[in-house]
Structure 1
């Protein structure tokens, strides 16, 4: 049973009611027990609820599987290596409030080794006048960053106490830069500089996230009809609600890309990458070796650069980081290139074309690389 850290006398659950009658019963039980609805999740017709620990109401709901599904509000971690890092919080401000542009750390544009390795520069002149909508569920984004701001279309924070989706951690900004930093005279350039970003801040300033906040963000992205969603986070656990959401998104025709996780070893791919509807990405280094930290297993679909990746950072800066967190956006960027070049297509067809453009790395086995490392010039000619 998961208890609230700020109030150990309460437990937090995601509860799905089978009918309107069940919803009424749930609300009545909460009122009697002193519990409450923390958040509604219309995508799954569910609620995030807090009950006094082992209250009669919780027991009654849990023991009534015909009317209610009771599951944990799972904890998630970001897939960066090594472990968590923390930076002083960036002051939360309304989106696009005017302020002086940040100083440029790199006055001349450079192209990161990972972007070169997948051959992105060779296909830039073949991309069409077509914007691809990219959803990023992460720690937010530095929406004042000169390499990103022109590609940001909208954003939301699904976290209580965070009114802005501005990044106060850095991870989400780094992911966004690899996917779609602008092609301008300074800083860096992303795999597809012509994307539209839709940002969900579902991870806090310590890099922690909850399933309910992720589901709320996915609902928001689906209503904005994004083409692809990047998920550079993981958990070793799953439940019916999480699996159902992934299936719903996939059936809607949205491509899902996720980091495999940083648990190393074999048969260690985490969720959501472990779901069959999701493209699972492992990490490689400059020598095409599997990264020592990268999770591997039969669920891996592709490998991508994920060691010493330079990308955008908070406060208008740039940073070198490692993790399957930063391998996944290479694949997301490749997906945007394919959708730009070939037009709209279902996720299965996207994956099929990507597999044709993948090179099998001789150093790696099937569970380390899946179909291999994608080289864009092989499929965009």
Structure 2
């Protein structure tokens, strides 16, 4: 591949400022081509300003940059793949402020999955959970003991402070630890690593998510919580998920909130994730939740109270909330039995589910049950 010619073409195309230019992901078929590109790009971007808008994604040998879809690539077409860098959205359907957490600081979902009964055996101690989301409220009293530094992918010079609320809510369900005065999450001694990829509107690009997964792989997370999704399939996102899976990281993803019966959103639909749908406190599938054969497990996701910005609490509903219960449960499992692979963990979860209630329940569907999960892994030994 003529790397210099490709970079000049990229520079000229980006400099043309065509109105229809959207962000694209360009993946290199050859690792050698990608490495040559990065070396040459580092040299040339000083003299060619448009090239400063190129973002590198080493985990999938790719870059992201503004590029019109109609841009012709006759000389380079056989050496690269191009796909749209799509927008991706969080999976919450409603929210409202609440004064406090009831039931001695243990939200109903944490109770329902029987997490408190497991705390004498495991609390998720030192299990690292990367939460790719909107950031976290570092000053929230219920989260102070549970937060590691993380990263802000939107502004690398700043901590990943939450300016939306969703990320703080997810973190609270996974690992809040302030029972006497606030709330307690599923795995109160797990460590949350906030990875801010979403802006204050709860929106991100696929490339932001890939950078978040890359950071989680390089920093050796045990679990990645992904409470978001999109309708379209992305080969680039799949490749990033595959990299995390091969690194032994459990990727937990929400199914989506469109009430669909036969399909779910990506990345939850990829086989290398644990896909999660939502239930109500009556152990029925929540009306908003996607469901069906692609779902691995169901968990509480309706009217979930958790931490919010400013030291407050909000009630939220969505498959996002269900996913955080499953991530917390897997943290309990990994602290109890370190070294389990992602495939083994998925098998344990599916083997230990509690039957769902309701007239029409998908085949082989069940709700998360922490005590049955721990018993199932004990029987396996």
TM-score by shorter chain over 0.5 = yes
Quote the residue 1:14 is aligned against. 25
Quote the residue 1:40 is aligned against. 56
Distance of aligned partners of 1:266 and 1:225 in 2 relative to their CA distance in 1, 3 Å threshold: same
Distance of aligned partners of 1:36 and 1:319 in 2 relative to their CA distance in 1, 3 Å threshold: same
Kindly report which structure 2 residues correspond to 1:187-336, keeping only aligned pairs within 5 A, or say none: 187-336=182-331
Report the Cα distance in structure 1 between the residues aligned to 2:325 and 2:318, rounded to whole angstroms.
Answer: 12
Distance of aligned partners of 1:299 and 1:110 in 2 relative to their CA distance in 1, 3 Å threshold: same
Quote the residue 1:360 is aligned against. 355
Q: Which SS does the other structure have where 1:328 is aligned?
A: helix
Contact 1:136-1:229 at 8 Å conserved across structures = yes
Where does structure 2 lack aligned partners over 5 or more consecutive residues? 1-13, 376-381
How many pairs does the alignment contain?
354
Contact 2:143-2:178 at 8 Å conserved across structures = no
Quote the residue 1:59 is aligned against. 72
The answer on 1:163 being equivalent to 2:176 is no
CA RMSD of aligned residues (A): 3.0
Distance of aligned partners of 1:105 and 1:310 in 2 relative to their CA distance in 1, 3 Å threshold: closer
Contact 1:261-1:294 at 8 Å conserved across structures = yes
**Cα distance, 1:265 vs. partner?**
2.5
Using the size of structure 1 for normalisation, the TM-score is: 0.84
Contact 2:105-2:180 at 8 Å conserved across structures = no
**Cα distance, 1:18 vs. partner?**
3.1
**Cα distance, 1:247 vs. partner?**
1.2
Using the size of structure 2 for normalisation, the TM-score is: 0.84
Quote the residue 2:7 is aligned against. none
> What is the CA deviation profile of residues 189-222 of structure 1, one whole-angstrom value per residue up to 9, with x for unaligned ones?
0011010111100110001011111111111111
Contact 2:230-2:265 at 8 Å conserved across structures = yes
> What is the CA deviation profile of residues 170-189 of structure 1, one whole-angstrom value per residue up to 9, with x for unaligned ones?
00000011111014311110
The answer on 1:376 being equivalent to 2:370 is yes
Q: Which SS does the other structure have where 2:63 is aligned?
A: strand
More moved, 354-363 vs 330-339:
354-363
Report the Cα distance in structure 1 between the residues aligned to 2:314 and 2:361, rounded to whole angstroms.
Answer: 31
Q: Which SS does the other structure have where 1:176 is aligned?
A: helix
> What is the CA deviation profile of residues 260-303 of structure 1, one whole-angstrom value per residue up to 9, with x for unaligned ones?
00011312300011000111111111111211110112110111
Kindly report which structure 2 residues correspond to 1:167-186, keeping only aligned pairs within 5 A, or say none: 167-186=162-181
Report the Cα distance in structure 1 between the residues aligned to 2:366 and 2:181, rounded to whole angstroms.
Answer: 32
**Cα distance, 1:10 vs. partner?**
2.5
Report the Cα distance in structure 1 between the residues aligned to 2:96 and 2:102, rounded to whole angstroms.
Answer: 26
